[in-house]
Amino acid sequence: MSAPPLLEVADLEMRFGGLIAVDQLSLTAAAREITAIIGPNGAGKTTLFNCLTGFYRPTGGRMVLHHPNGALALDRMDGYRIAARANVVRTFQNIRLFPGMTVLENLLVAQHNTLMRASSFSLAGLFGLARFRRAERAALERARDWLARVDLLDVADLAAGTLPYGAQRRLEIARAMCADPVLLCLDEPAAGLNARESSALGALLLEIRAEQAIGILLIEHDMSVVMGVSDHVIVLDHGRKIADGAPAAVRHDAAVIKAYLGEDDDAALPPAVAADLRAGQGGA
């Protein structure tokens, strides 16, 4: 049998009082793959991310990450430890940068734990020991590398909050990559981007997948990005998984179409998606 997938979620359940936001959800995500999670608004996608990254403690089920250093039970870890030890790093639907700090500083904060260890919790840093200076140079080099990739080198010394929206989205992804993820969770990275920026984002994600041995979980409403980059699509509706498979298979799935379109009313669907779905059906 082959190695286990990077992430295994089994029977995950998240209740808020009487509301079941995530209901008996099981899914897997593999390393070197982009797994898209789609579904109508309120389907429980972001709740799933919040459980995975320790912002919520799930009310039931298991989440296991097969980290290179050994399997970790995410449901028993909390808060910052999931990012620090399990290397599950996320971005946010409404961008959360450090707006008053510069772009470069944002990327250095992401490397906090590595740098903190190198600075012996500030002692080596205070006296400017060579060990710390080396680590800092390496961190800067890494930040510079990611800035070049997301095309933000020119604005490295500007406050992050002053960047245009699209640049802030790219910076948030670069910052997450600087935090050394094993599993990268992107919450609607294409929201608010124009068509050109969205396709650049897709290219960036494919590049990351090709170069890094990490898994990517992608929540996205922009179907052109989802269909263009994902290896695997999971569809949620009302907290349950209603479809799971290759992008082409999912878009023809009757349950998916029903979730998006309703029984016989396609007003709920963005026109572009409706047209896309119809074209897909026609082609089949």
Partner 1 sequence: MPSAVDRLAVRGAGQLAGRLRDAAAAAFVTLVLALPLVGLRTVDQGGALVLETRWDWVAIGVAAVFVGRLALGLFAHLRLRVPRVVPRVAQGVAMPWLAWAVAGFAVALPFLPFADRYVIDLGTTLLIYVMLGWGLNVVVGLAGLLDLGYVAFYAVGAYAYALLALNFSLSFWICLPLAGLLAALFGIALGFPVLRLRGDYLAIVTLGFGEMVRIILINWQSLTNGPNGLPSIPRPSFFGLPFERAPAEGTTSFHQFFGLDFAPEHRLIFLYLLILALALLTNVFVLRLRRLPLGRAWEALREDEIACRALGINPTNVKLSAFAIGAMLGGFAGAFFATRQGFISPESFTFIESATIVAIVVLGGMGSQIGVVLAAAFLVLLPEIGREFAQFRMLVFGLAMILIMIWRPQGLLGHREPTVRLGRAAAPRP
Binding residues for partner 1 (CB under 8 A)? 53-55, 79-85, 87, 89-90, 92, 96-102, 104-105, 108-113, 115-116, 119, 121-122, 125-126, 137, 140-141, 144, 147, 153, 156-159, 161-162, 175-176, 179
Q: Which residues lie across from 9 on neighbouring strands? A: 27, 63
Question: Taking the CA of residue 81 as centre, how many other CA atoms within 13 Å lie in the half-sphere pointing to its CB?
Answer: 7
Q: What are the start-end ranges of the H helices in 91-164?
A: 103-110, 112-118, 123-126, 130-149
Per the CB < 8 A criterion, the answer to whether 208 and 177 are in contact is yes
Tell me the DSSP string of 33-62: -EEEEE-STTSSHHHHHHHHTTSS--SEEE
From the CB of 187, what's the least distance to partner 1, in Å?
10
From the CB of 16, what's the least distance to partner 1, in Å?
18
From the CB of 105, what's the least distance to partner 1, in Å?
6
From the CB of 139, what's the least distance to partner 1, in Å?
9
Q: Which sign does the torsion angle of CA 155, 158, 162, 168 carry?
A: positive
| Cβ distance to partner 1 smaller for residue 101 or 274 | 101
Question: Taking the CA of residue 103 as centre, how many other CA atoms within 13 Å lie in the half-sphere pointing to its CB?
Answer: 26
| Cβ distance to partner 1 smaller for residue 16 or 80 | 80
From the CB of 64, what's the least distance to partner 1, in Å?
19
| Cβ distance to partner 1 smaller for residue 15 or 144 | 144
Q: Name the DSSP letter for residue 156.
A: T
| Cβ distance to partner 1 smaller for residue 146 or 260 | 146
Of 169, 99, 106, 107, the closest CA to residue 138 belongs to 107
| Cβ distance to partner 1 smaller for residue 42 or 100 | 100
| Cβ distance to partner 1 smaller for residue 117 or 258 | 117
Cα separations (Å) of 82 from 103, 121, 212? 24, 21, 20
| Cβ distance to partner 1 smaller for residue 163 or 273 | 163
Of 235, 178, 181, 173, the closest CA to residue 6 belongs to 181
From the CB of 125, what's the least distance to partner 1, in Å?
4
From the CB of 249, what's the least distance to partner 1, in Å?
33
- Taking the CB of residue 77, how many other CB atoms lie within 10 A of it? 19
